């Protein structure tokens, strides 16, 4: 079922101008993303294209629609809405319903748009269920995307406007969230139970007066002040506490969480829902007088690429995180002393705070944004089927194509692995 249709502002104005007379027809060709229709091209028949047109009835000449459809079909576009203007209200007439039921048999996702001259109102309806349902109209102003739309095209930019990205762990990934909003992604879903601390400000752009706020809520406020055309939802909770229906909304799931358990959970959710997932990692390690800096982006396409758990997992750290959940970090030392003294030396893995730099976060988030753009806008080539590794100190970047692990506990049952996609 289509719940929203996204139309570029100038295109929407042209559509309204074209149907301000009774019994006019216009056709929108575009894309469908889940429960969203995206307008790409508007076709307005000329007066000579009508076989019949009166104050109460209209009909196009045979072949007019087919001629236009054959042209746009080569671009992969489909009819997403047929608009009809009435003298009266914007409610569909009996004739509208009868005709459009036949249209939907051929074009499953095609909406009916009714413009009522009496109400000066354009309303869209979805006919995929037994009863027509109203569809929300989103008018998108693409003026501020002039520089990137030259590359992405209107179609790519409108796909971004209709897209939803869910980000778990918005510390360092806050830069990615801000960049996605700047590029025109229509909806961001932010998930993080933690609060901003003063020492976070060496690597993120968060106002000083938001220190102490929940990270997701503070970032929502920051983004909405900068880019009010982006819808932002904030969930101040752990990913494991988030309803599955919220994950289901997303077109891409991003994981910037520190906890290994959370990263494995996000991997399992993405696999279960068939959602592309992006895993971010950035940090430094000090050894003696030297330090090493690494950042990485892993792209997981369920059933196509290796998943997060196809790579070696630090099960000792995972076990420690589970013990913390069981007894609390303040009681962990005493718990291990009594129940498992040999594990006390593993605590350094849990208490290690990874050093980080804003330049590394910016690079990693930039790499991630490009991969997300490839997936959502279908522009810039195919997504990386594996892992991007970056070392800023040696200025080296490597892309590793990761093979799926046939014994992976998470994805080995998704389908045949022989030959690797």
Please tell me the predicted confidence (pLDDT) of residue 342: 64
Please tell me the predicted confidence (pLDDT) of residue 298: 97
Mean pLDDT of 389-411: 92
**Position of tokens 């289901």?**
248
Mean pLDDT of 390-417: 87
Mean pLDDT of 335-360: 67
- Residue pair 376/162 in contact (Cβ under 8 Å)? The answer is no
Kind and range of the H or E element at 399?
strand 396-401
CATH number for the domain running over 4-140: 3.40.140.10
The one-character DSSP state at 357 is -
**Position of tokens 């690079």?**
363
**Position of tokens 């106002």?**
207
Nearest-angstrom CA–CA distance, 402 and 388: 10
**Per-residue CA distances from 145 to 30, 37, 116, 153, 316 (Å):** 19, 20, 33, 10, 47
What confidence tier does 421 reach under pLDDT thresholds 50, 70, 90? very low
Mean pLDDT of 201-213: 87
The one-character DSSP state at 171 is S
Please tell me the predicted confidence (pLDDT) of residue 419: 46
DSSP result, 95-145: HHHHHHHHHHHHSTT-EEEEEETTTTEEEEEE-SSSS-EEEEEEEE--GGG
Beta strand 231-235 with 187-191 is parallel
* Average pLDDT taken over every residue of the chain: 89
What are 41's two structure tokens? 């091209």
Please tell me the predicted confidence (pLDDT) of residue 49: 94
Of the given ranges (66-70, 149-153, 261-265, 349-353), which has the lowest mean pLDDT? 349-353
Please tell me the predicted confidence (pLDDT) of residue 297: 97
pTM: 0.89
Sign of CA dihedral 161, 302, 380, 401: positive
303: buried, middle or exposed (CB in 10 Å: 19+, 13-18, 0-12)? Answer: middle
| Percent of the chain whose predicted confidence (pLDDT) is above 90 | 65
- Residue pair 287/200 in contact (Cβ under 8 Å)? The answer is no
DSSP result, 184-221: T-SEEEEE---B--GGGGGSS---GGGTTSBHHHHHHH
Mean pLDDT of 141-166: 96
Q: What is the 3-state secondary structure (H, E, C) of 267-332?
A: HHHHHHHCCCEEEEEEEEEEECCEEEEEEEEEEECCCCCCCHHHCCCCHHHHHHHHHHHHHCHHHH
What confidence tier does 177 reach under pLDDT thresholds 50, 70, 90? very high
Please tell me the predicted confidence (pLDDT) of residue 138: 97
Nearest-angstrom CA–CA distance, 128 and 2: 8
The model's pLDDT over 281-308, given as tens digits with 9 standing for 90+, comes to 988 776 677 778 889 999 999 999 999 9
| Residue ranges of domains in the chain | 4-140, 163-401
354 vs 29 pLDDT, higher one: 29
Cα-Cα end-to-end distance for the chain: 31
Please tell me the predicted confidence (pLDDT) of residue 410: 93
What confidence tier does 344 reach under pLDDT thresholds 50, 70, 90? low
Of the given ranges (175-179, 200-204, 320-324), which has the lowest mean pLDDT? 320-324
163-401 has the same fold as 4-140: no
Q: Does domain 163-401 have CATH number 3.40.50.720?
A: yes
Angle subtended at Cα 169 by Cα 303 and Cα 251, rounded to the nearest 5 degrees: 40
| Percent of the chain whose predicted confidence (pLDDT) is above 70 | 88
Counted residue by residue, the chain has a size of 421
Torsion angle of C-alpha atoms 361, 223, 163, 158, degrees rounded to 10 = -110
330: pLDDT strictly greater than 70? no
The model's pLDDT over 222-276, given as tens digits with 9 standing for 90+, comes to 999 999 999 999 999 999 999 999 999 999 999 999 888 899 999 999 999 999 9
Mean pLDDT of 407-413: 90
Please tell me the predicted confidence (pLDDT) of residue 414: 77
Q: 304 — phi, psi (to 5°)?
A: -115, -50
104: pLDDT strictly greater than 60? yes
Please tell me the predicted confidence (pLDDT) of residue 204: 85
What are 28's two structure tokens? 């929108």
What are 211's two structure tokens? 């220190």
The model's pLDDT over 1-49, given as tens digits with 9 standing for 90+, comes to 999 999 999 999 999 999 998 889 999 999 999 999 999 999 999 999 9
Please tell me the predicted confidence (pLDDT) of residue 206: 85
What confidence tier does 318 reach under pLDDT thresholds 50, 70, 90? low
């Amino acid at each position: 079922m289509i719940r929203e249709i996204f139309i570029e502002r100038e295109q929407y104005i042209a559509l309204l101008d074209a149907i301000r007379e009774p019994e006019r027809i216009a056709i929108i060709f575009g894309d469908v993303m889940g429960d969203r229709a995206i307008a790409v091209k508007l076709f307005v028949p000329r007066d000579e294209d009508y076989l019949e047109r009166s104050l109460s009835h209209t009909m196009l000449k045979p072949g007019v629609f087919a001629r236009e459809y054959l042209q746009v079909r080569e671009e992969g576009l489909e009819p997403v809405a047929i608009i009809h203007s009435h003298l009266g209200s914007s409610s569909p007439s009996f004739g509208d319903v009868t005709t459009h039921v036949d249209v939907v048999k051929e074009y499953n996702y095609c909406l009916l748009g009714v413009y009522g001259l009496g109400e000066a109102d354009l309303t869209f309806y979805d006919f995929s269920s037994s009863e027509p349902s109203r569809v929300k109209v989103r008018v998108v102003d693409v003026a501020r995307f002039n520089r990137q739309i030259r590359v992405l095209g209107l179609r790519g930019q409108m796909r971004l406007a209709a897209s939803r990205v869910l980000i778990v762990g918005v510390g360092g990934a806050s830069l990615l969230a801000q960049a996605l909003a700047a590029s025109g992604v229509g909806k961001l879903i932010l998930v993080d139970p933690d609060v901003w601390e003063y020492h976070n400000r060496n690597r993120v752009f968060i106002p000083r007066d938001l220190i102490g706020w929940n990270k997701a809520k503070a970032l929502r406020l920051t983004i909405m002040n900068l880019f009010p055309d982006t819808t932002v939802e904030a969930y101040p909770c752990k990913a494991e506490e988030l309803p599955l229906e919220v994950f289901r909304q997303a077109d891409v799931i991003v994981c910037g969480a520190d906890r290994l358990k959370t990263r494995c959970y996000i991997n399992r959710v993405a696999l279960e829902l068939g959602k592309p997932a992006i895993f971010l990692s950035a940090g430094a390690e000090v050894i003696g007088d030297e330090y090493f800096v690494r950042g990485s982006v892993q792209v997981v396409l369920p059933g196509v690429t290796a998943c997060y758990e196809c790579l070696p997992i630090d099960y000792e750290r995972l076990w420690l995180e589970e013990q913390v959940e069981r007894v609390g970090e303040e009681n962990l030392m005493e718990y291990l002393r009594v129940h498992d003294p040999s594990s006390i030396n593993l605590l350094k893995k849990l208490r290690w705070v990874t050093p980080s730099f804003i330049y590394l976060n910016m690079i990693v988030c930039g790499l991630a944004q490009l991969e997300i753009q490839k997936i959502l806008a279908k522009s810039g080539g195919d997504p990386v089927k594996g892992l991007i590794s970056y070392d800023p100190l040696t200025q080296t970047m490597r892309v590793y194509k990761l093979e799926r692990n046939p014994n992976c506990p998470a994805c080995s049952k998704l389908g045949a692995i022989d030959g690797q996609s």
